Structure 1
Amino acid sequence: MKKHLFATLPLFAACVAVPALAATEADVENSFNPYKSGMPSFPGLTPGMTINKANVEQFKDVLGAGVYRLIKEGQFEMKVGATTQFAISKAYVDATKANLNKAKLGAKPGELTGYVAGRPFPEEPDVKDPRAGEKLAWNYKYGVNWGDGAIISPFYWKYKNMQSGQVEKTIKYDFHFLNFMHRTKDAPVPEITPNPSGIFRAIYVKAHEPADLKNTQLLIQRFEDDNKLDDAYLYLGFQRRVRRLAQGQATDAFLGSDLMIEDFEGYNGRVSDMKWTFKGTKNVMLPMWNHNELKLASDMPAEADGFKYVDFGGQGKCFHEGTWQLRKVYVLEAAPVNTNHPVSKRVFYMDAQIGNLNGANEIYDRKGELWKVFMVGKSHADHHLPINKGAGIGVDDAFSMVDLQSRHCTTGQFKGQVDPKKNPPGLFQVQNLRGGD
């Protein structure tokens, strides 16, 4: 009997699930400061140099597949800058420490329990963990993005023919972002009340120019319950009425641009809308810089406060002219759950320090062919507008959405401001759209 008992012990052990190791404060420190042991490097890569068609093969291993293709085709040249620290807000880091190991994945994607505030899963992701990609997606959903709230005003989108460089249309917007829940820095903390619908985060967009789009407004309300569909509303100024957007319209071209609503901020959807797969950790070039150190656009007038926009160059002037730096990233794939989705997958190079999904992502069509490359450049908050100093976020500063198949692009130039006074909660209600004129 004793012999039989010992013989069954290995079988018993194999049947017992081994619990994941709890995250530690050391994990938190490494998550928010992945460069504490030194900055990443790659042979031959030095700040001040340019990666172009002539030398791109040498640096293929530190380029996203889409960016590599664009440089190889001679569409643009990449200016290399030094890797720098993008320190996250102390309040957000402290919230991560205070709530360590409270967040737990549910049985199904889109289910999360115990989350309070901060980064839900600060431990290093493991490719052997089948749900590592999902954890990274939650880190993005509850990440700092624009902090607890911010405004881009003005925000210029330009539609361009990539072959000729012709600017077909320019739209002047305001974009507002507000977290209603899990706030860590700006009063009120931790949430804005009343909030009877359980809205986690909302985006409000208003167009000012051109005349045919003036007062066009978009409102997106994302709920705390990730399995609840977003509410989205569009107000068309010339029709003077609000209409609710169907779920599928989030993947239509937004006002004729190269972006879908789902593309906003890199990924503007629910965790449950995608199957997330973590593909590994590597060092990759991302567009991150100090705004005040760039050569800025001369073809756009400066704002009243002297602010100047990031310049564009390359083929068709489709590419922002900021510097790129070597960053630690998590390669993350997202495949839509809906088989009718126009995209087969998205590939993100998620910055390990700030947790964004919009540095240099790739969008593949339903046939699996590369369709678009989305590159959003971020400025360090302390080297941007004075009001952003100490914000503890990466300030979105310019974007390039390049459609490789149609040879067309949409570019964006931001004046991002982390200013809570410009984001009253009433702005994010449907009633505001009706009175938006």
Structure 2
Amino acid sequence: MTYIELLRAGCVGLSLLAGSAFAAVTPEQASQLGNQLTPLGAQKSGNADGTIPPWTGGLPTTTAGVDKDGFLPNPYAAEKPLFIISSKNATEYQDKLTPGQLTLLKRYPDSYRIPVYTTHRSVNAPDKILAAVHQNATSTELVEGGNGLENYHLAGVPFPIPKDGLEVIWNHIARYRGDSLKRTVVQASPQTNGNFTPSLIKQELAYPIGMSDYQPDEMSNILSYYREEILSPSRLAGDVLLVHETINQVKEPRMAWLYNGGQRRVRRAPQVAYDSPAAEGMRTLDDFDLFNGAPDRFEWKLVGKKEIYIPYNSYSLESPKLKYDDIIQAGHINQDHTRYELHRVWHLTATLRPGQRHIYSRRDIFIDEDSWQAAEADAYDGRGELWRVSEGHAIFFYDYQVPLYAAETHYDVLSGRYSVNSLRNEEKNAYQFNLPVSRKEFTPSALRATGIR
């Protein structure tokens, strides 16, 4: 069976960074939001040496308008790199790099590099989301075992002042990505010589609260709906995936269906989860978005916060002046078009639980404090050796106040191959936010009408 891809803070004391706690924070703790902390829970102040500035509200919606092809102007286009990290000087910066980044610098000493720019804390969210996040802070709790949420208001992060690793990974899973999102993007898994065949994919993501036929009682356990249709190449065109992502995954696990364009059949797809292979075997299904789905197979530990260089404000990487051939090359994407900045991240380790099955024995995930979006992820095989390194090249759609990825890369450091997805450089008007949607569009019966073959 062909698997199609699935889209799917500094005032907190050290006592809050250890152990598991299922209670929401107090109103007094929540009062830090918008004061010592940003409304989303990041440390509002900059760092001691000024290399990370204070948060002052992020980029406003009025920063610039989209062009005729739907691309956002780069607000930092005039900036040049402050310095470039390469294999030759990596030891000078190793305290601000992940093990995965250091491995990529060593694996590709002549081509992989990290251009570092001035840090801009560009992220914010719409007012209604900020209000929901504040409400979540004092109401949302983890279900027993941490594999779901209770009393969650269907928008934004559930735990802006997190106590443990499970709460942080749930913030990444549930973060705001628009009321609804439709996009057409390209994915590729190049061979070791750089040759690739792009897959053009139409993806749709919607949250119940933004739907015209929203029914709180009937949809109370739905976190989001996701639908994906492969448009090309022709051998895959017409395959459609539908996912209902649940909030309490103990009560009701993720539900998924596949429509096979050749057979014209809709089937339940329980394998669309965890470590099922995707992108020609270059990643797992739960690698997408650097992590998605149920967290129950791993023990999550919150190591704490640290400052590292992460991909950020990646407007140049999605420039319409670039072709996919300019980006996709042998070994890794063309790092000349990337941008890294120094930011504070939450560092999580996920260790496989005894008795559970997964091809990864451990994951290290680094989540941006301002957006709650994962920026780097390292995955280790059963022997405990680093196997895959993922990078999320963040971009902020300031017109809708939505953080996403301009590109998402998954590097197999053993085979020398990788996958890259979410590219849209050659697609016109590829993104549409907050369009009217109905849950009727996300039913199994709607899949057959979607297929094109």
Normalised by the length of structure 2, the TM-score is 0.77
State whether residues 240 and 260 of structure 2, in contact with CA within 8 Å, keep that contact through their aligned partners in structure 1: yes
CA distance in 2, matches of 1:343, 1:435: 37
Q: Which residue of structure 1 aligns with residue 284 of structure 2?
A: 260
Q: Which residue of structure 2 aligns with residue 399 of structure 1?
A: 408
CA distance in 1, matches of 2:295, 2:403: 22
Deviation for aligned residue 1:215: 0.6
1:211 maps to 2:234: yes
Deviation for aligned residue 1:60: 0.7
Equivalent of 1:233 in 247, 250, 257 = 257
| Structure having the larger proportion of residues in helix | 1
Q: Which residue of structure 2 aligns with residue 173 of structure 1?
A: 201
Counterpart amino acid of residue 327 in structure 1: H
Deviation for aligned residue 1:326: 0.8
Q: Which residue of structure 1 aligns with residue 138 of structure 2?
A: 101
Q: Which residue of structure 1 aligns with residue 183 of structure 2?
A: 152
Counterpart amino acid of residue 312 in structure 2: M
CA distance in 2, matches of 1:187, 1:247: 28
CA distance in 1, matches of 2:435, 2:373: 25
1:355 maps to 2:372: yes
State whether residues 101 and 120 of structure 1, in contact with CA within 8 Å, keep that contact through their aligned partners in structure 2: no
1:378 maps to 2:394: yes
CA distance in 2, matches of 1:98, 1:194: 20
Equivalent of 2:151 in 102, 105, 114 = 114
Residues 91 and 343 (structure 1), Cα distance of their counterparts in 2 relative to 1, 3 Å cut: same
Q: Secondary structure at the match of 2:100?
A: helix
Q: Secondary structure at the match of 1:283?
A: strand
The correspondence of residues 188-203 of structure 1 with structure 2, limited to 5 A, is: 191=214, 195=218, 198-203=221-226
Residues 331 and 258 (structure 1), Cα distance of their counterparts in 2 relative to 1, 3 Å cut: same
Counterpart amino acid of residue 160 in structure 1: P
Matched residues, number: 386
CA distance in 2, matches of 1:99, 1:411: 34
Residues 133 and 239 (structure 1), Cα distance of their counterparts in 2 relative to 1, 3 Å cut: same
Residues 7-52 of structure 1: per-residue CA shift (max 9 Å, x gap): xxxxxxxxxx9x9962222145414374632257699xx9431111
Q: Which residue of structure 1 aligns with residue 439 of structure 2?
A: 425
Q: Secondary structure at the match of 2:157?
A: coil
Q: Report percent identity of matched pairs.
A: 20
Q: Which residue of structure 1 aligns with residue 246 of structure 2?
A: 223
CA distance in 1, matches of 2:317, 2:198: 26
Counterpart amino acid of residue 436 in structure 1: T
Deviation for aligned residue 1:349: 0.3
CA distance in 2, matches of 1:246, 1:294: 34
CA distance in 2, matches of 1:423, 1:62: 43
Larger Rg: 1
Deviation for aligned residue 1:173: 0.4
Residues 204 and 41 (structure 1), Cα distance of their counterparts in 2 relative to 1, 3 Å cut: farther
CA distance in 1, matches of 2:93, 2:165: 26
* Ranges in structure 2 where 5+ consecutive residues have no aligned partner: 1-20, 52-79, 425-429
1:312 maps to 2:312: no
CA distance in 2, matches of 1:241, 1:211: 18
Deviation for aligned residue 1:105: 3.3
CA distance in 1, matches of 2:431, 2:160: 27
Deviation for aligned residue 1:362: 0.9
Q: Secondary structure at the match of 1:226?
A: coil
* Ranges in structure 1 where 5+ consecutive residues have no aligned partner: 1-16, 126-131, 302-310, 383-388
State whether residues 256 and 268 of structure 2, in contact with CA within 8 Å, keep that contact through their aligned partners in structure 1: yes
Deviation for aligned residue 1:133: 0.7
Residues 231-259 of structure 1: per-residue CA shift (max 9 Å, x gap): 12222212221222234764222252413
Equivalent of 1:37 in 31, 38, 45 = 45
Residues 315-369 of structure 1: per-residue CA shift (max 9 Å, x gap): 5353552201111100012234462211112211011111012x11111112211
Deviation for aligned residue 1:418: 4.4
Q: Secondary structure at the match of 2:242?
A: strand
CA distance in 2, matches of 1:396, 1:347: 19
State whether residues 402 and 409 of structure 1, in contact with CA within 8 Å, keep that contact through their aligned partners in structure 2: yes
Residues 278 and 319 (structure 1), Cα distance of their counterparts in 2 relative to 1, 3 Å cut: farther
Normalised by the length of structure 1, the TM-score is 0.79
Residues 434 and 41 (structure 1), Cα distance of their counterparts in 2 relative to 1, 3 Å cut: farther
Equivalent of 1:48 in 71, 74, 82 = 82
1:161 maps to 2:191: yes
State whether residues 365 and 371 of structure 1, in contact with CA within 8 Å, keep that contact through their aligned partners in structure 2: yes
Q: Which residue of structure 2 aligns with residue 286 of structure 1?
A: 310
Residues 95 and 418 (structure 1), Cα distance of their counterparts in 2 relative to 1, 3 Å cut: farther
Question: What is the Cα-based RMSD across aligned positions, in Å?
Answer: 3.0
Equivalent of 2:105 in 60, 71, 94 = 71
Counterpart amino acid of residue 113 in structure 1: E
Counterpart amino acid of residue 91 in structure 1: K
Counterpart amino acid of residue 349 in structure 1: F
CA distance in 2, matches of 1:20, 1:243: 39
Counterpart amino acid of residue 90 in structure 1: D
Identify which of structures 1 and 2 has the higher relative contact order when contacts are C-alpha pairs closer than 8 Å and 6+ apart: 2
CA distance in 2, matches of 1:373, 1:422: 37
State whether residues 133 and 158 of structure 2, in contact with CA within 8 Å, keep that contact through their aligned partners in structure 1: yes
Residues 273 and 90 (structure 1), Cα distance of their counterparts in 2 relative to 1, 3 Å cut: farther
Residues 53 and 25 (structure 1), Cα distance of their counterparts in 2 relative to 1, 3 Å cut: same
